[in-house]
Chains A and B, each alone.
Chain A
Amino acid sequence: MNVMSNRPRRSSVSPSNISKRRHKPDYWLIIFPSALLVVGLIVVYSISPGLAAQKGVTENYYASKQLIAVLLGITSFIIASQIPIQKWKNYRRTLIILSVVASLAVLLFGDKVNGAYRWIQIGGFSFQAVELIKFTILIWLASFLYDRWQNGEINNSNKTLKPLLLLLLIVTLVVANPKIQSDLGSTGVIVAMMAGMSFVACLPFKRIMLIALIVITGTTILVASSSYRRDRLQTFIQPQRDCQNTGYQSCQALIAVGSGGLFGKGLAHSVQAYGYLPEAANDSIFAIYAEKFGFIGVSVIMIAFAVFFTRIKYVIERAPDVYTRLIAAGVLAWLSTQAIINIGAMIGLLPLKGITLPFISYGGTSIIFVMAAIGIVFNISRYTTYTANTDLEKIEGKKIEGSTDRRRDRRTYYATTSRRT
C-alpha cells in the first residue's frame, strides 16, 4: 500500500491549522473513480452504435458525449481538489442561489419528460438540476451541522432538528414533487445524505428516528399520490406480473442480468442494449454491464465500489476536523445510496428509480458533480490523521479528557488502510 505513501508531519503545526499538516493524498480515491469511469466509457462506447441507430444519430454520438462528460468530470475533480476545504463554507450561499436558479430554470425552460421537469438543455448538453442540488446540500449541510456542533447545539430541536426538517420539506416540494422534478430516487439520495451526515454528527438517536418516521410517512404519501409510482411499486413487488407494460424495464433488466451468466456474453455481444432494455446507457447500464461481463465482471465492480467506499470511510474516520468528516460522510452517503438504489432496481431488490449509477452511467451532470465531490474528499485525504479520531473535540483543539493524543505519538502520520491501534 505504498501508493498512500506518507509525508512526515511537521512537528511545529498548530492543531487548528490543518493546512499545515498536509501529506500525500489517498491516490485510491483517484484510481477507483478513474477505473469506474473507464468501465462506463467502455460500456457506453460498445453500445453507442446500437443506441445511435435507434435515435438516428451518428454512431459514436453517445461515446463521444460520454468522453466529454468524463473529461469535464476530471476537470471538476481537479478544481474541487485544489480549493481549500474550509473555503467551501463560503460558497454555500452561491451554491444555494445556483440551485434555486437551476430548479427554476428546469421548471421554466426544461424538457418535460414523463410529466417531470429534470433537465435543461445547455449547448447540446442536458443539465440535470438535482445533481447540483445534491452537491449544494452536501456543502450546506456540512457547514450547518458543523456550526451546530461547534456551538453545542446538535441536540437543540429548534436550532438543528427544525432546520433539517425544513430542508427535508423543501427537497420534498422541489425534487420529489410529482409535478416538478418527480425524482424520488434523488430524494432518497438526499435523505440518505442528510441521515448519514446527521448520524455522523452525532445527532441524537431519537431525533434520527423521528426524521426516519417522517420520511417513511412522507414516502408513503408520495408513492400513493402518483400513479406512476404506484405502478413502479407494484412492478417492484411483482415484476413478472406485467412484463409488457409497467414491469417491462424491470423484466428486461433481470433478463439482461440473468442472461449474462457467470462469464458474460462479451463486450460486443450485449443484445438487451439493442432496444430491449430502456435507458440502456443511463439508469440501466449496470444490467447491460452484467449482461456483457457476467457474475465475474459484476463482482469486480461491486468489490471496486466496496473498496472505494472503504477508502472514503477511512477519510471519514481520520478526517482532521468535524467539518471535513461531515463532507466525507455526505459523499459516502451520496454515492453509496445512489449506487444501491440503482443496482438494487436492476436486480429486482428495489423499485425502479430514474437514477444514475455513479461514474458508470451515461450522463454529464452526474459525473461532473460526483467527481467534484470526490475531489473534495481527495483533498481531505491530504490532511487525514494517522489513526481514526474518536474524539472530535480533540482534533478541533477543544479540551476533552481521556482519549488518545496523536501528538504524543512519536511516529509520523500515515493515511493508511491498516489499523495500527
Chain B
Amino acid sequence: MISEKNNSFMGPLSRIRFWYAILLIVIAVFLVRLFYLQVIRHDYYESSALSSQLKEYEIPAKRGVIEVHSGDTIVPIVLNETKYTLFADPKYIKNIDQVAEELQKVIGGDTSELKNKISTPDTRYVVLAKRLDKETSEKINNLDIKGVGTRETDYRTYPQGQLAAQLLGFVNDEAEGKYGVEQALNNELKGKPGLLKAITDAQGVPLASQKDNVLVESSEGNRVVLTIDIGLQQQLEDLLKKGLDNAQSSSGGALIMDARTGEIKAMANFPTYDPSKYNQVEDASLFTNPVVSAPLEVGSIMKPLTTAAAINQGLVDRNSSYFDPGYFVIDDAKITNIEEVGGAATKTVQDIIQQSLNTGATWLLMQMGGGQVNEKARNIWYDYMTNHYRLGKQTGIEQGYEAEGSIPDPNDGFGLNIQYANSSFGQGMTATPLQMAAAFASVLNGGKYYKPTIVDKLVSSDGAVDDKLPVVLNENVISEQTSKELRDILEYAFSKNHTFYGMPNLRPQYLMGGKTGTAQIPKPGGGYYDDKYNGTFLGFVGGNQVEYVVAVRVDEPKIGGYAGSRAAAPIAMGLLNTLIDNYGVTPRN
C-alpha cells in the first residue's frame, strides 16, 4: 500500500478500497444467501413451485352413443357433437366495452349482458356463450382478443329429434347423465376419463417444454344398444298423442314389452320435451318418464292378477260360480260395482274379469281368507303382490328415478281389510304401468317374471360386446296351468268387450286380450274425487303364445264414459294392431 498524505479521515485510495471491500462482502453475502435458497432450501422451494405449477386435469372421455333397433338394423338415437364454449379471463380484458361489442357482432345477443359477465370480479374464467358452432368459434379466434378464447365441449345430439326423449334422458353441463338411460347407465356411457398431470403456466395451460408431464389417455364410454325399436317407438308416440287428444287428456303414457324376454320395445309419455333444448325446459317434471317413475292407483287392471292368484292358490277356476250380492260392507265401507252390472246375481270367475266386478275381486280375496277378508287373505294377497308380481319395489329397469309404488302392509295400520279389499281391484295401492306390464306378462307367459329391460347390449370402445340376456327374476309367479286359464279368461272377456275398446272386429288368428282400469283418483287429504278418473289398460297379443304386452295410462280424460275403455283401451288397440300389422306377431297355427 502506498503511503497516504491527506488531511481527511481516509485518503482516496483507502476510501476506494474500503468501499470495494464492502461491495465484495455484499456479493459474498448474496452468494451465501443464494446457496441457502438454492441448495439448502431447494426441496422446500421445489415443492412450493410444484404446488402451484403442477396441475392435474381430468381429460373427459368421449361419451358412448346410444342406438336403437330399426327392424333388423341398428340406428343411432343419441350422438355426440363438438361445440364450442366461449370464455373470458377478465384479468386480461382492458377495454370491456370494445370487447363486448366485438363479440356481440359475432355471437349476437345482448351487449350489456356480455359486459356484465366480463366485468365479473375476482375470477379468471367466465363463460360468455355456449354451444357455438365451429365457424363461430373460428371467427372469435380470428378476432384475436386477449383474454378471450373458446374451448371444445361435446354435446349430445339427437338425430331422431324428440323421439323417446324421456326414456333417453339428457347429459347436463357437468357431463352427468340425467334421467332415463343417460342417468341409469351413466357409468357405462361416460367412459374412463384420462389424466393429465402437467406443469402449467399461471393460466393453467400445460407447458410443452416440461418433460415430467404424465398423460393417461381417456377411454371412450360404451356404446349402448337399446331394445327399443325406433319404428314402434314412433308409432307408439303417434298413437299415444292421438289417443290422448281424442280422450281430451293432457297427459298419459304407454309402453310395449316383449312378454318372452322383458324387453321394452317402445315406451313414451306425453307431454314430453326436446332433449337438445333441455336447458330451456321450465317444468322439471317433463324430464321424468312417468310410465316408470310415476306410480298411480292402477284400477281394475289389477283384477287379472287377483284372479291369477286365487286360481293359482287352487281356490277357484275360471268357471267357479258364486253369488254376488252386488256389494260388500267391509270395515264399515261399502264396495260396489259399476251401475251397468246390476244387482245381486250368480257370477263366474271369468265374469269377474269380463264385467270388471269389484265385488268379484273382493270375493276372490275372501276365498284366500277362507271366506272373508282377514289376516290370512291379506297376507296371501300381499305375498302375491309383492313377491310374485314384484309390486312395491323397483323392477330394476335401466331408467333414472324409477318409482317403487306402494303396497299397504297387511298387518300394520287401520282399516286393513277394506284397504286390502280395495287393492284386489287396484285401489288403495299404487304401481307404475311398467310394474303392471311386467307382472301381467308373467301371468300370461306361463309364470316367468322377466326383469324389464331397455338395454339390448353394451359395446365397449375396443369392440367387446356385452349382450344383455333376459333375466328371470321369478320362475314360478303362477303355474303354467293358471297362466293358460288366465289367457283363456282374458281372451273370452276380450271377445265380449272388444267393441267397447274401439276394436270392431276380432282377429281370430291372433291371441289377444286385455283389461281396462278406471281408477278413482285419490284426494291429497284422503278419500277420492267423485269425478276424476285415470284410465288404464293392460293388453296382450300373440299367436300360440303371448308375445307382447302393452300398458297404457291416460290421466283424467274428459271424454265421457269409462276412462279405461273410452280413453286407454283405444290406444292399446292401436298398439296391438300395429304389432300385428307391422311387427310380425306370429299368428296361431
Contacts and interface: CB of A to CB of B under 8 A. Distances in A.
B38 A55 contact: no
B38 A302 contact: no
Nearest to B147: A56
A271 B23 CA distance: 32
Interface string A305-329: 1100110010011000000010001
Given A261-B39, A268-B209, A403-B5, A302 B31 contact: yes
A53 B207 CA distance: 12
Interface stretch (B41-49, B156-164, B421-429, B535-543): B41-49
B45 A254 contact: yes
B219 interface: no
Contact of B12 (A204, A306, A392): A392
Report the 3 A-B pairs with minimum CB-CB distance, sorted nearest first: A258-B45, A275-B202, A274-B201
A146 to B, nearest CB: 13
Given A55-B146, A276-B53, A313 B202 contact: no
15 contacts: A56-B146, A202-B15, A205-B9, A256-B49, A258-B45, A259-B42, A260-B38, A271-B210, A276-B201, A340-B26, A349-B30, A349-B33, A388-B2, A390-B3, A400-B5
B38 A298 contact: yes
A404 B37 contact: no
Contacts, number: 153
A200 B16 contact: yes
B52 interface: yes
A271 B201 CA distance: 7
B341 interface: no
Contact of B23 (A56, A199, A309, A392): A309
B37 A347 contact: yes
B500 interface: no
Nearest to A294: B38
B351 to A, nearest CB: 83
B34 A302 contact: yes
B13 interface: yes
Specify the main secondary structure of chain B where it touches its partner.
helix
A390 B30 contact: no
Contacts of B9: 204-205
Contact of A275 (B13, B20, B34, B203): B203
Interface of B: 2-6, 8-13, 15-16, 19-20, 23-24, 26-27, 29-31, 33-35, 37-39, 41-42, 44-46, 48-49, 52-53, 92, 144, 146, 199-203, 207, 209-211
A276 B46 contact: no
A387 interface: yes
A306 B28 CA distance: 9
B45 A257 contact: yes
A344 B30 contact: yes
A262 B38 contact: yes
Interface of A: 50, 53-56, 196, 199-202, 204-205, 254-262, 268-269, 271-272, 274-276, 290, 294-295, 298-299, 302, 305-306, 309-310, 313, 316-317, 325, 329, 332, 336, 340, 343-344, 347-349, 387-392, 400-404, 421
Contact of B34 (A55, A257, A259): A257
Given A298-B34, A306-B23, 5 more contacts: A262-B42, A269-B209, A276-B201, A306-B27, A390-B4
Contacts of B41: 258
Contact of A306 (B13, B24, B35): B24
A290 to B, nearest CB: 7
B206 to A, nearest CB: 10
B3 A290 contact: no
Contacts of B44: 258
A262 B203 contact: no
A271 B2 contact: no
A81 B79 CA distance: 74
A347 B202 contact: no
A293 B412 CA distance: 81
A202 B12 contact: yes
B96 to A, nearest CB: 16
A290 B42 CA distance: 12
Nearest to B4: A390
B37 to A, nearest CB: 5
Given A258-B46, A317-B13, A421 B2 contact: yes
B200 to A, nearest CB: 8
A384 B13 CA distance: 15
Contact of B202 (A55, A276, A298): A276
A267 B39 CA distance: 19
A390 B11 contact: yes
Contacts of B45: 254-255, 257-259
B146 A316 contact: no
A332 B22 CA distance: 13
Contacts of B53: 271-272, 276
Given A255-B45, A390-B3, A392-B12, A196 B209 contact: no
A255 B16 contact: no
Contact of A305 (B16, B27, B42, B207): B27
A295 B34 contact: yes
Contacts of B6: 202
B49 A257 contact: no
Contacts of A271: 49, 53, 199, 201, 207, 210
Given A258-B41, A269-B210, A306-B27, A276 B203 contact: no
A200 B201 CA distance: 48
A261 B42 CA distance: 5
Contacts of A56: 144, 146
Contact of A302 (B2, B16, B30, B92): B30
B3 A274 contact: no
Nearest to B34: A298
Contacts of A325: 12
A269 B46 CA distance: 13
B202 A257 contact: no
A403 B4 CA distance: 8
Contacts of B46: 258-259, 261
A334 to B, nearest CB: 13
A224 B407 CA distance: 80
Contacts of A332: 23
Given A257-B38, A271-B210, A298-B34, A387 B49 contact: no
Nearest to B2: A390
Contacts of A259: 42, 45-46, 48-49
Contacts of B5: 390-391, 400-403
Contacts of A391: 4-5
B50 to A, nearest CB: 8
A336 B42 CA distance: 27
Contacts of B4: 390-391
B465 to A, nearest CB: 46
A329 B30 contact: no
Contacts of A316: 16
A202 B3 contact: no
Contacts of A294: 38
A276 B16 contact: no
Nearest to A329: B16
A298 to B, nearest CB: 5
B20 A313 contact: yes
Contacts of B15: 199-200, 202
Contacts of A275: 201-203
